[in-house]
Amino acid sequence: MSEIQPESLTTSDAPEKRTLLGKYELGRLLGHGAFAKVYHARDTRTGHSVAVKAVSKTRVEKDGLNPSVKREISIMQRLRHPHIIRIIEVLATKTKVYFIMDFAKGGELFAKIAKGRFSEDLSRRYFQQLISAIGYCHVRGVFHRDLKLENLLLDENWDLKITDFGLSAVKNSNSNNNPVLRTLCGTPAYVAPEILGKKGYFGDKADVWSCGIILFVLTAGYLPFNDNNLMRLYKMIYKGEFRCPRWMSGELKHLLKRLLDVNPHTRITIEEIINDPWFKKGYKEIHSIFYDDDLMKQVEGGDRNEANSRFLNAFDLISFSPGFNLSGLFTDNKGENCRETFLSTEEAIKIVERAEEVAHEVKSPRVVMERVKGGMGVRMEGIRGYFGLVVEVHRLTEELVMVEVRWREKDVGLGRDYWKEKLRPKMCHLIYQLVRVDNGIV
């Protein structure tokens, strides 16, 4: 987080012309909540529109919300999906914290549905985008816990964007089990019945219930559970008492009954939703981007792109040694990423092209690919983010290149196996000498 000095936050005579650190010119107020305001702003360097969420430090500390703000920053910085609002950077003054985020030009989905219910086709489109993003979050151990129409935005292409991860929960990266959560949170009309039971609940199951409420509202135009009396509302939710309007198709009614199943153990899962007949119509797999702190800094940072076209220096080589890896000092995700490194006498571009060819040859239905910036690497992402694999090439000398293959430790049975069992056997002729395997030196 960058700390803005008081003199860096300039204000002109017109309050809407405030400029943060000379980077973002603040414009109109887009909305506000209990302790935050969201403004439209213009990036003075690129001219692009962004959204700036201003959070009062005093209010946050007074209400004990500091952990929530930190959690939101941490989660949003790690999520990279076409239908999740991206956090660009975080700035701060002595009194406020500023989230610089993607600007959703289309506004809230809530405002659109307030004008009238959507057709099933349009509702299906938004529901498919919602499930793709939520499935992506769940695979990464992130549970939103406050899904509602007000937290769904639309971009300039009228595509859905999920925002507001302030109430999210994160699964312990060292645990493979689905954690039982106990914190009561969420918006009353969208809250799952097991949360009301106060006996603990699963974050993914609670999110699926909220997705069911959203789908019902999109297609019906009103909430399935609604009462001005909160206790009566909770009783309706707890019993699962709702009726589908007559204009809904039979397939949609069946899906809604499974989404709004009061028993979390029999409630439909994300995988089952994706295979549902109503959901599958016109569905195209939405590909996400594999996000890894160290790698993204290398791939997306301008300086590192230049590094691919020059020789690695001594400092670069040290960074490949596990004994000198200092990344643990700057991140809480110790041991999250594994890698294998080897030397090759082939040209860098040929190695990248061969990796792409082999991935196509094995014809795995679980993999999509993307070139890293600069062309000296390829990033592979399993469908719905089940694993991530990166092959990146660095010039070492005139005759040698160093090839680094990275995967996430939590996906060790997927990312590593995909590399070792499918890709590496078909690329072994490119290997001149192994330098590092997993977390050890060969």
Mean pLDDT of 15-27: 78
Q: Read off the pLDDT band of 214 (50, 70, 90).
A: very high
Could you read off the pLDDT of 325-354 as tens digits, one per residue? 333 323 334 444 677 888 888 888 888 888
> 391 vs 210, which has greater pLDDT?
210
Structure tokens at 383: 């469908």
DSSP label at residue 224: S
Q: What is the pLDDT of residue 318?
A: 40
User: Could you give the CA distance from residue 94 to residue 219 in angstroms, rounded to a whole number?
Assistant: 46
Which one, of 378, 432, 368, lies nearest residue 400 by Cα?
432
Percent of the chain with pLDDT over 70: 66
φ, ψ at 110 (rounded to 5°)? -55, -40
- Write down the pTM of the prediction: 0.62
CA proximity to 166, closest of 189, 190, 183:
183
Q: Which domains does the chain show, CATH number per domain?
A: 2-102 (3.30.200.20), 107-280 (1.10.510.10), 293-441 (3.30.310.80)
Q: pLDDT-derived band of residue 391, with 50, 70 and 90 as boundaries?
A: confident
Q: Is residue 134's pLDDT more than 70?
A: yes
Structural tokens at position 205: 């199951």
- Could you report the per-residue pLDDT of 74-91, keeping only the tens digit for each? 777 778 888 998 888 888
Band (pLDDT 50/70/90 cuts) for residue 276 is: very high
Q: Which among 338, 369, 368 has a CA at the least distance from the CA of 352?
A: 369
Task: Give me the long-range contacts of 363-368 (CB less than 8 A, separation at least 24).
Answer: 364/418, 364/422, 367/418, 368/285, 368/287
Give yes or no for a contact between 276 and 268, defined as CB atoms under 8 angstroms apart.
yes
Res. 412: pLDDT tops 70: no
Note the pLDDT of residue 317: 46
Residue 411 in tokens: 């996906």
Average pLDDT, the chain: 75
Most confident range (mean pLDDT) of 113-122, 160-169, 179-188 is 113-122
Rounded Cα distance between 424 and 442, Å, is 17
- Residue with the larger pLDDT of the pair 356 and 43: 43
Report the C-alpha gap between 197 and 126 in whole angstroms. 30
Active-site residue, from 63, 121, 146, 332? 146
Q: Would you place residue 153 in the very low, low, confident or very high pLDDT band (cuts 50, 70, 90)?
A: very high
Give pLDDT, residue 207.
Answer: 94
Residue 73, amino acid: I
Does residue 124 register a pLDDT over 90? yes
Looking at residue 309, its pLDDT comes to 40
pLDDT of residue 298: 33
R_g over Cα of the chain: 24
Three-state DSSP at 371 gives strand
The answer to whether 168 and 145 are in contact (CB under 8 A) is yes
Looking at residue 202, its pLDDT comes to 85
Which tens digits make up the pLDDT trace of 228-256? Answer: 888 899 899 999 989 999 999 999 999 99
With a CB cutoff of 8 Å and minimum separation 6, the contacts of 68 are 60, 166, 167
> Amino acid identity of 136?
Y
CB contact set of 84 (below 8 Å; sequence gap of 6+): 76, 133, 136, 137, 161, 162, 163
pLDDT in the model for residue 392: 83
Residue 152 has pLDDT above 90, yes or no: yes
| For range 182-210, the mean pLDDT | 82
Closest CA to 214 of 274, 278, 126: 126
For the chain, give the longest Cα–Cα distance. Answer: 75
pLDDT value of residue 68: 65
pLDDT band at 257 (very low <50, low <70, confident <90, very high): very high
Backbone φ/ψ region at 286: left (φ over 0), alpha (ψ -120 to 50), beta: beta
Q: Is 294 a catalytic residue?
A: no
